[in-house]
Amino acid sequence: MNTNGGPEGEDAPKRGTRRARGSPAGDAASGDTHPLRPVRSFVLRQGRMSPAQHRALDELLPRYGVPYAPAPLDFARLFGRRAEVVLEIGFGMGETTAAIAAAQPQRDFLAVEVHAPGVGALLRRIEATGLANVRIVRHDAVEVVDAMIPEGSLAGIHVYFPDPWPKKRHHKRRLLSPAFVHALARRLAAGGYLHAATDWEDYAQQMLATLAAEPLLANTAAGYAPRPPWRPLTKFEQRGVKLGHGVYDLVFRRQ
C-alpha cells in the first residue's frame, strides 16, 4: 500500500489516510476560479479539529499567520530581519516544517497550507518550541505564489508529498503542473533550489519530466536526487520505506 491516499470519489478525499486533507468549507480558498490553474490541487472539507488546534487558530494565527492579500510580501518586514527565505507548500501537520526551521535558524520559512487542523498543529509547534523563523499563510499556494511572492526572492522551495491524485481523471489537480513550476522557478533567486519529494512513482516521473522541461531550472542530480540531509523522514515515510515503497526526491536549481 502506498502511504499516499488520493481522492476516491469525483472530488472526495479518501477518509482515514494521511493524504485526505481539507479545511472548513466556506474558506476564502474555495472555488475553482484561478486563471493560472483553474482546477485546484485540494478539496476543502470540514476536517476534525482538536480543541487545542482550534485555540491555536484563534490565538496564535494572528501572531504567526499572514493573511492572504494580493500584494507582494516584504520578507524583511515580515520576519523582522534580512535572511534567506524558504517557501514550503502543503506542510500537512507541520512536523517537517518545524524540524527544518529549528535546524536552520539562520533562514526564514514561509509555510503555506489550506488544511485548518494542520495550520493549528504547526501553530502549536511554533509556540511550544519558540520558533521565531516561521510564518504561515492559510490559503491556496497557487494564489499566494502568484500574488504575494516577489520574483527572484526565494532561496528555496519545499514541496513534500503533494497530494498524488492517482486517478487519471484527477491528474489535472496535481500541484506541480508546468505552469505552476514555471511560476515557482521565477520566484527563486539565482542558485535557489526547488526540492520536491513523493512516494507515488508515476507522480515522481511526471515531476521529473516537468521540472526537467522548465528552462529556468537545472537538475542537481542525474534523475532523482538522494534525500538531502535537511529533509527529515516523516513517520508515514518510514512506514512506507519499511513496506518497501520508493521515495523520490527531486532537487533542481535556478540557473
Ligand X SMILES: C[S@@+](CC[C@H](N)C(=O)[O-])C[C@H]1O[C@@H](n2cnc3c(N)ncnc32)[C@H](O)[C@@H]1O
List the catalytic residues. 163
Q: How far is the CB of 173 from ligand X (least distance, A)?
A: 8
80/246 with CB nearer ligand X: 246
Q: How far is the CB of 244 from ligand X (least distance, A)?
A: 19
The half-sphere exposure of 121 on its side-chain side, counting CA atoms within 13 A, is: 19
178/191 with CB nearer ligand X: 178
238/255 with CB nearer ligand X: 238
Residues that bind ligand X (CB under 6 A): 19, 21, 41-42, 89-92, 96, 112-115, 118, 140-142, 160-163, 175, 234
Q: How far is the CB of 91 from ligand X (least distance, A)?
A: 5
C-alpha to C-alpha distance for 68 and 144, rounded to whole angstroms: 7
Q: Which residue has the cell 520508493?
A: 246
CB 225 within 8 A of CB 250: yes
Provide DSSP, 208-231.
Answer: HHHHHH-TTEEESSSSSBPPPTTS
C-alpha to C-alpha distance for 199 and 152, rounded to whole angstroms: 29
β-partners of residue 159 are 196
Q: How far is the CB of 255 from ligand X (least distance, A)?
A: 26
Q: How many CB atoms lie within 10 A of CB 109?
A: 24
191/246 with CB nearer ligand X: 246
Q: How many CB atoms lie within 10 A of CB 121?
A: 24
